[in-house]
Amino acid sequence: MASVIPDFEMFESKADLKVGRTFYSITGPRSGKPIVLVHGATVSSLSFNTLVPYLVRQGFRVLRYDLLGHGQSDCPEQTAYSPATFAIQLDQLLAALNWPKASCVLGFSMGAVVAASFAYRRPGRVEELLLVAPLLNFNELRFCGKVAASRLGPWFLRVIGMPIIRRRRVKRALAIGNDRAAVQFRELSSKSNFRDMVISLARDGAFSDHHDVYKKLARTQDRIKIIGGAEDSVVPQRHVRAVADLCGCDCTRIIAGHQHNLIHSAAGLIAMIAGGKQLGEQVPLKIHYSESALRASAVSFSPDLPMM
């Protein structure tokens, strides 16, 4: 018979912030250690579906939310969709929810830049930072970001870029059993304001060089852990190690055999590291994920746990 944590909660809602209405969800025991998850570009907080149950098992109370222009959050016009704007959104969200000041913040890919931007601006809010596949300079590796930022951007995204992104995102979501994320992205990516948001990401610095962000972080944070995938082509090993050097971080792990989707494939390891397990310790790395597996892993915390 499944055991139930007495103060367990799992719900989703929206917060009316100055920057825009923001979708968020909270999962875990009310008395758990607070952790905030920041997702990457063009996806949503549903991308953490695999990771959340593992974090709850480590005793965390998990807050995840959709960045502006992503998922179920507002996509306001005349907005610069930059890491700085996203950092302001996170600051306003934590204030609106009265979230504990001493929190662990986990940022994935572009979300790592957002987390770092927030952490150096509001160091008193962050107890520990965990950067997973931290984006350093996407434009150095891929031409598409530069094209999206150019005068050809609207045409390029409409004719070439968005169909490719849509096909890849949906395929990846379905491959790991995250059907809800696949449906959500298929619908969202067909809207013109979503394309405008992606153009803004490119033009307003989300895909460009973030050396300065990580340098500033080094002056305000000393509890930083960094994880990368050895086979990651989006954030290669040399970029992960460069971020570690810029941050002055000596807690870095490159996981053999993992690509950019390591928040799925190495979810158990990431949760253990977030929970304080030493980077050098041996823990399971490969985890098969499906919707039924997520429900099964969560049932020990609630007998009627809905799919997020």
- Is 207 within 8 Å of 224 (Cβ atoms)? no
Domain assignment present for 144: no
Domain assignment present for 233: yes
Least Cα distance to 154 among 208, 206, 194 occurs for 194
Measure the CA–CA gap between 68 and 236, rounded to whole angstroms.
27
pLDDT score at 177: 86
Give burial (CB, 10 Å; 0-12/13-18/19+) of 30: exposed
The number of folded domains in the chain is: 1
Domain assignment present for 74: yes
Domain assignment present for 224: yes
Measure the CA–CA gap between 12 and 6, rounded to whole angstroms.
19
Q: Which residues contact 138 (CB under 8 A, 6 or more apart)?
A: 110, 145, 207, 208, 234
Domain that holds residue 86: 8-137+207-298
Domain assignment present for 127: yes
Share the mean pLDDT of the chain.
Answer: 86
pLDDT score at 214: 97
Residue range 79-133, pLDDT digits in tens: 999 999 999 999 999 999 999 987 899 999 999 999 999 999 999 899 999 999 9
Domain assignment present for 166: no
pLDDT score at 7: 84
Residue 139: enclosing H or E segment and its boundaries?
helix 138-141
Amino acid 20 reads G
Residue range 199-219, pLDDT digits in tens: 899 889 999 999 999 999 998
Domain assignment present for 145: no
Residue range 228-252, pLDDT digits in tens: 999 999 999 999 999 999 999 989 9
What CATH number should be reported for the domain holding residue 264? 3.40.50.1820
Query: Regarding predicted confidence, which is higher, 41 or 2?
Result: 41
Beta strands in the chain (DSSP E): 8-16, 21-29, 33-38, 60-65, 103-108, 126-132, 224-229, 252-255
Domain assignment present for 120: yes
